[in-house]
Structure 1
């Protein structure tokens, strides 16, 4: 009987404590996406997030140390998906000319991060200037992207498509240009086509790698 009681305490409604906790965490992430992505980080208190998610503030602090922690977890989710999409795009056209490789990779990045206007707002607006911790988080992602782009530029050198040089500053500049252009597009309300934005980013990216 003691064993049966222990099982009963660990499960509720057919779900384990771990499953219920994972569901609460997911609801908080979805609340963060909705509120940060529509009303903004500054306007979204922990109490408001908890109400939207249908959880208690105690549940919140069981999953996240702070609103910043929730914001960074949400940003991680978005950018990790974008990173994997870009990596997959480069892999799919590994032997193609540089312009085609960049076109596929840029399209993968843009269609992932801007597929939902809330994702775009979190990625390009709400993570900027929140706090030192969030800035360090954002910069760490920027450096990861920069290393990834430098590696791709160096592969272009190996193929004879570019001259060897230090590509790091160019990679950082490209990341800034991409972020601004995608944010501009996401906020334009359809005034610019996605293909126009992708073409412009590809021109900038190709020039950043192949310019002498």
Structure 2
């Protein structure tokens, strides 16, 4: 039987693929707003569709589930953050390990913590959602840990630091970064809110002490 003649039809000058891409963008934007303000668990699909101006049928066709939408959102933010961290490493080529690592983390956090919504989604709402989302989080940790391990090993070759097991150290740093970012979102300490500068200062202390740097 012949295929549906409407399948490849353009509407308002847009192909089907372009329309799907636009709907996905609107859904991800809506997810940033709603997951980042009222929370993932408190945001029904119907509310997402209303804010994104997308039908529920299109939602299931384009995304499939809230879980997939959440991953699409955190991937969009983290991809930009990772690119900024890599750009920082390129800018600081030839600098000390401490400068390179700390500035790269600052660049990464400047994106993920650009506003309260993105920070809440990346460091609070994404935690413990499902095995699939946890797998995404593990993969993200592996990427960040790989960068830090590579930087440390390069520093060993330069004679800047002594060789040691860097994989656990990298995970410890990443865990500290996440804990500090969570504190930025939902302060639990009696001193109140923390700033990005304060977080980066703590990261600097952790990295410098952990690697035996001045």
TM-score under structure 1 length normalisation? 0.90
- Report Cα offsets for 1:3-45 as digits up to 9, x if no partner: xxx79x7222222222211111111111111111111000111
1:178 aligns to 2:177 (yes or no): yes
**Aligned partners of 2:143 and 2:194: how far apart in 1?**
29
Tell whether the 8 Å contact from 1:30 to 1:53 is kept in structure 2 after alignment: yes
**Aligned partners of 1:113 and 1:198: how far apart in 2?**
13
**Aligned partners of 1:195 and 1:127: how far apart in 2?**
24
Alignment of 1:5-154 (within 5 A): 10-154=9-153
Offset at 1:201? Answer: 0.7
Q: List runs of 5+ in structure 1 lacking aligned partners.
A: 1-5
Alignment length (residue pairs): 206
Offset at 1:190? Answer: 8.2
What is aligned with 2:199?
197
SS of 2:74's partner is: helix
Q: List runs of 5+ in structure 2 lacking aligned partners.
A: none
Tell whether the 8 Å contact from 1:106 to 1:202 is kept in structure 2 after alignment: no
Offset at 1:102? Answer: 2.4
What is aligned with 2:208?
206
TM-score under structure 2 length normalisation? 0.89
**Aligned partners of 2:21 and 2:64: how far apart in 1?**
16
SS of 1:10's partner is: coil
**Aligned partners of 1:27 and 1:13: how far apart in 2?**
17
Tell whether the 8 Å contact from 1:89 to 1:105 is kept in structure 2 after alignment: yes
- Report Cα offsets for 1:23-72 as digits up to 9, x if no partner: 11111111111111111000111111111111111101111121111101
Q: RMSD in angstroms over aligned alpha carbons?
A: 2.1
**Aligned partners of 2:112 and 2:72: how far apart in 1?**
15
